[in-house]
A = this chain, B = another copy of it.
Amino acid sequence: MAAKKSQTGSSSEAAETARRAPMREFSRSLPMSLLRAREAVMRQFRPALRNHGLTEQQWRILRALTAVDAIEVTELARVAFLLGPSLSRILRDLEARQLIERRAAKADLRRAVVSISAKGMKLIEAVAPTSEAIYAEITGRFGARKLAELQEMLGVLERSLAAMEVAGEESGKIEE
Chain A interface residues (CB < 8 Å from chain B) = 1-4, 8, 11-12, 14-15, 18-19, 22-24, 26-45, 47-51, 56, 60, 63-64, 66-67, 69, 79, 81, 118, 121-122, 124-125, 128, 130-132, 134-135, 137-138, 141-142, 146-147, 149-151, 153-158, 160-162, 164, 166-170
Contact = CB atoms under 8 A, between A and B. Distances in A.
B135 A161 contact: no
Copies in the complex: 2
Given A19-B67, A39-B81, 4 more contacts: A14-B121, A130-B167, A138-B164, A141-B160
A159 to B, nearest CB: 8
Contact of A153 (B23, B56, B149): B149
A154 B27 contact: no
Contacts of A42: 31
Chain A contact residues: over half helix, strand or loop, or mixed? Answer: helix
Nearest to A124: B18
A18 B117 CA distance: 13
B22 A66 contact: yes
Contact of A8 (B56, B81, B118): B118
Contacts of A60: 26, 32
Contacts of A156: 142, 146
A105 to B, nearest CB: 16
A167 B44 CA distance: 7
